[in-house]
Amino acid sequence: MKGILKSTALSALRSTGVFSVVRRSGWRRQRLLVLCYHGLSLQDEHEWLPHLFITPELFRQRLACLRQMSANVLPLGEGLARLASGSLPEASVVITFDDGFVDFLKHGVPALAEFGFPATLYLTTHYMKHRLPIVNLALDYLLWKSRRASARFPGEGVETEMPLGSYLERQKVVQRILKAASEKNLDTVGKDEWARSIAAQLGVEYQPILDSRMLQILSADEIADVAKRGIDVQLHTHRHRSPGDRDLFMKEIQENRRAIHEITGTNPVHFCYPSGCYKPEFLPWLRECEVQTATTCERGLATGGSDPLLLPRVLDDSLTGPLRFQSFVSGLLV
Ligand SMILES: [Zn+2]
């Protein structure tokens, strides 16, 4: 009901021209919309996690909408510099992708090139050397894909039958498997063998998932290709984690930066908190690492008053309708 009311109100506002007035206002010129994306489905990922995956078709519709609304899509560095100096053009937008899934190269990069829009990829680098799906995501996908109401995996740490009906229930199972794997000191390859075994127990074919490269991070060669095509590659930690210990936290940034530098030859200085999680103590550590800006998953438009290490973004997802997306771009409602 709330959604319907919001949509009706937005529709009325658009028809009265309010979207356009706000989009062209001085108020909006002092604000930067940083859009956040994760994955573009290779198969049915958007049905599994609609907040993290959208279809390539929907992504192209978004780009078409940005063009149709005369949005000024800027590179991240330029957008943030012009935000700080108060010189943003009308309806400024920055496009960011998190993690560096293979689907970004397959679907994202060509679509961005076609529209002539720049984008930043916040890349996590550990999985780069593995042609394997990220295990926590792969496990949840397998549980979802099986359509089973419950399951047990005695060989992988789940002794008793556990429900699989919801995301939270599946996460409990995933966490239990990962805990058992870590108690056995399994490495990335060992954990993937468990994922394969669990797929077999669930009756889900694993090899096609592997072959499709779903949930895999781009290889070093592919990242070089992405960078060569003009995508700005920035920091997202090496292992997609933010340890509470200063030295470990800084090591995550340093390893991530070194890996990106080796491939692209650039020195990344923009950061995105893994899973959007941040703590106050991270800020001085980021400054020590000479990180200039950091984005969160807090919803909002960035302003000149935003802390450069706590910049808000707007997550666009499969559940966001076209009108709502237009309201993001206008700045009326994020
Ligand atoms: Zn991430």
* 254 and 243 assigned to the same domain: yes
The answer to whether residues 107 and 158 belong to one domain is no
What pLDDT tens digit does each residue of the chain (334 aa) get?
Answer: 566 667 777 787 777 788 888 888 899 999 999 999 999 999 999 999 999 999 999 999 999 999 999 999 999 999 999 999 999 999 999 999 999 999 999 999 999 999 999 999 999 999 999 999 999 999 999 999 999 999 999 999 999 999 999 999 999 999 999 999 999 999 999 999 999 999 999 999 999 999 999 999 999 999 999 999 999 999 999 999 999 999 999 999 999 999 999 999 999 999 999 999 999 999 999 999 999 999 999 999 999 999 999 999 999 999 999 999 999 999 988 8
Domain match, 106 and 238 both:
yes
Distance 137 CA to ligand 1 centre (A): 12
One DSSP character per residue, 127-178 reads GGG--SB-HHHHHHHHHHHHT-SEEEEGGGTEEEEEE-SSHHHHHHHHHHHH
What's the total number of domains in the chain? Answer: 2
CA of 294 to the centre of ligand 1 (A): 13
Amino acid code (one letter) for 247: D
Gap from CA of 40 to ligand 1 centroid (Å): 14
Same domain, 60 and 95: yes
Residues 9 and 102 reside in one and the same domain: yes
The residue from 190, 212, 234 where one domain ends is 212
- Owning domain of residue 149: 135-212
Residue 39 CA to ligand 1 center (angstroms) comes to 10
Do 188 and 300 fall into the same domain? Answer: no
Here the CATH number for the domain that contains residue 106 is: 3.20.20.370
Tell me the CA–centroid distance for residue 22 and ligand 1, in Å. Answer: 32
Residues, CB-to-ion distance under 5 Å, ligand 1:
98-99, 274
Q: Do both 152 and 207 map to the same domain?
A: yes
Residue 41 contacts residue 55 (beta carbons within 8 Å): yes
